[in-house]
Structure 1
Amino acid sequence: MTDSSPTPSSPDGPDGPDLVEAPSRRRWPLVLGALVALAVIAGVVVATTGGEDDATAGETVRIGVVGASDPYWATYEQAAEDEGIDVEIVDFADYNQPNPAVAEGELDLNQFQHLVFLADYNIASGDDLQPIGATAIYPLGLHSKQYESVEEIPDGATVAVPNDASNQARALVLLQSAGLVELKSGGSIFSDLADIDTEASRVQVEALDAALTATSLDDLAGAVVNNDFVERAGLDFDDALAQDDPDDTKALPYANVFAAQADDLDDPTYQRLVEIYQETQAVQEGVVEVSGGTAVMLDTPVEDLRAILAEVESDTRDQQG
């Protein structure tokens, strides 16, 4: 930083030193003026740095989401702004993008995924993103444009599930509970297409990108559709032929979370942003409304979330041998 303070004047005049200097009444005002100037400069430095305890003061916090057009995000941004926090919601259409963006520092936080998805990402990538707060659990639903009940789906028909590992396992367990497939393992967070007992199952199962399961329904008997894509595809939550139970304690690994880099877990601004999400009634009501009344809102202690993540990661590593 360039020092813009005035250079102290030399006591020597242009013609050499003054041997006798008359007392001046202006000396104290000049000293006071200098002190005031220094105080102003110090104040500017403090204001612009924001202190050492809050590294994000005065900066924009970028949060990656899937579905930024949902009205509650604008409500959330305003609630954060009311507390002096500038938030930018960054939209993604692909679930595979927000985590690398946080890991690489392009985003500060993201909020789009459950703990099982986060565990799979961390293990596959070698990163260590961590939850800093819970948002909600959303049920996973089986939808159809051709049939009005599970029983109507004919034997041998094709049903789609998401192709990412965590949602695929959850979808297969749902299909098993609906009586459409049988899983050799009995069903777990590690089930995949190879776990299907084809001889004992009523339907064939095809894996598609999560964003495409709903839009492919014209060509399928049914599809398990992630909550984010239900309304976008013109579907109604109430029309789901079957769905899992988000109130079940076994569903906690599917709790959606805000995620951050491990080094940022104690950032007070990020923690406050989680609290704003959990404490702002209009945001909470907006989430439930967008989910068609299906979302179960959470304020699970962050220590519990991290413990669940660690357990899922450990089980996944054991599963992979």
Structure 2
Amino acid sequence: MSESVPVLPPKPGSGRRTGLIAAAVVVVLLLAAVIAYVVSRGSSDDAAAGDGSTTPTVVRLGTTDVAQPHWEILKELAAAEDIDLEIVGFSEYTQPNPALAEDEIDLNAFQHVLYLADHNNNTGDDLQPVGSTLIVPLPLYSEKHEEVGEFTKGEQVAIPNDATNQARALFVLESAGLIEFTGEPKVPTPDDVDTAASTVVVRPVEASQTAGLIGDPDIAGVIVNNNFASDAGFDLDGYVYADDPSSAGAQPYINVIAARPADVDNPVYQRIVELYHDPSVTESVVESSGGTAVIVEGYDAAKLQQVLKDTQANLKAAG
């Protein structure tokens, strides 16, 4: 049996030093764990953002035809590029521009250039187009008549009462031979209608209400904007008469995506315009319009802004 190895007594103070070393090791390990957790959590957050480095950019776009299927298609295309596109619905034309001017939304898409020009002139806002969408004819519908020649003296036709759609509606009725003007107004109002020389009497109402008057016994016809006609279930090819959206004078009626003036060069907004022109979106737009919508290509933001400037000047001159 081997001899036992003698055990020396600990030196004074050696136990306390050993405890301090152990405590220091614990602190270092805890700090390392905390750092590892923070780095791991940051990496997880970045991965959840969609592209490994950024969170989605949120863009709120206001429109009056929120139920149309092309918006969901556009949202999906935007989401694939880390753009969280929120579509905000408005029930009346008078709402989206003030909401845009007051930063409640980032973009809107519901109006043509002439409507935007009238809004800017009347409010002092300087909202600007950042891209084109479509142009559609403004149709006259009737449940009583199948042809323009069937309208009789004194029958009423409901038209939108906002200044720009009203002017276009009056031009439609003039082109159809149902009214005449007392002069040659650039932006006509009902006061410019020569009642004695006209066949029909115009009845201005809020644009969203025109479709609902199609069955009114006192109304022989209604002029309805395409989105309201679609929402009301109209046969979009079943109109009595419509203007020509491809005519040379159609520029003021090009529908646009609008932004605040400081945001016209925002690359995210410009990308949304580009995505709107993706075939999957535009095919849905045309289909929903019953084939009546014409997608407007070849108008960049600068060209549209010049059209807006010219239109605002024309409105002021006519005013």
Structure 1 unaligned runs (5+)? 1-25, 51-55
1:219-258 paired onto structure 2 within 5 Å: 219=216, 220-258=219-257
CA distance in 2: counterparts of 1:309 and 1:294, whole angstroms: 24
SS at match of 2:202: strand
1:75-114 paired onto structure 2 within 5 Å: 75-114=73-112
1:188-267 paired onto structure 2 within 5 Å: 188=186, 190-219=187-216, 220-267=219-266
SS at match of 1:111: strand
Letter in 1 for 2:192: D
1:1-321 paired onto structure 2 within 5 Å: 58-188=56-186, 190-219=187-216, 220-278=219-277, 280-299=278-297, 300-320=299-319
1:172–1:187: 8 Å Cα contact kept in structure 2?
A: no
CA distance in 2: counterparts of 1:267 and 1:222, whole angstroms: 43
- Decide which structure has the larger Cα Rg and report it: 2
SS at match of 2:110: strand
Q: CA deviation at 1:252?
A: 1.0
2:130–2:300: 8 Å Cα contact kept in structure 1?
A: no
Structure 2 unaligned runs (5+)? 1-24
Q: CA deviation at 1:153?
A: 1.2
CA distance in 2: counterparts of 1:173 and 1:301, whole angstroms: 28
Q: Which runs of 4+ in 1 moved over 2 A?
A: 56-59, 184-188, 231-234
Matched residue count: 284
CA distance in 2: counterparts of 1:244 and 1:145, whole angstroms: 19
Q: Which residue is equivalent to 1:10?
A: none
- Give CA-to-partner distance per residue, 1:217-272, whole Å, 9 cap, x none: 22210011101111222321111110010111210110000000000111110110
SS at match of 1:60: strand
SS at match of 1:199: coil
CA distance in 2: counterparts of 1:176 and 1:148, whole angstroms: 18
1:176–1:182: 8 Å Cα contact kept in structure 2?
A: yes
SS at match of 2:269: helix
- Give CA-to-partner distance per residue, 1:181-203, whole Å, 9 cap, x none: 00123353x11101101111011
CA distance in 1: counterparts of 2:289 and 2:185, whole angstroms: 26
Letter in 2 for 1:247: S
SS at match of 1:221: strand
SS at match of 2:170: helix
Identity of aligned residues (%): 45
CA distance in 2: counterparts of 1:105 and 1:57, whole angstroms: 21
**Alignment root-mean-square deviation, CA:** 2.7
CA distance in 2: counterparts of 1:233 and 1:153, whole angstroms: 23
SS at match of 1:238: coil
Letter in 2 for 1:243: A
TM-score by length of 2: 0.82
Letter in 2 for 1:62: R
Letter in 1 for 2:66: A
2:74–2:276: 8 Å Cα contact kept in structure 1?
A: yes
2:57–2:82: 8 Å Cα contact kept in structure 1?
A: no
CA distance in 2: counterparts of 1:146 and 1:234, whole angstroms: 17
TM-score by length of 1: 0.82
Letter in 2 for 1:205: V
Q: CA deviation at 1:126?
A: 0.9
CA distance in 2: counterparts of 1:187 and 1:283, whole angstroms: 38
- Give CA-to-partner distance per residue, 1:39-81, whole Å, 9 cap, x none: 969x88xx7xx9xxxxx96331000011111111111100100
CA distance in 1: counterparts of 2:292 and 2:265, whole angstroms: 31
CA distance in 2: counterparts of 1:180 and 1:318, whole angstroms: 27
1:130–1:261: 8 Å Cα contact kept in structure 2?
A: yes
CA distance in 1: counterparts of 2:251 and 2:314, whole angstroms: 15
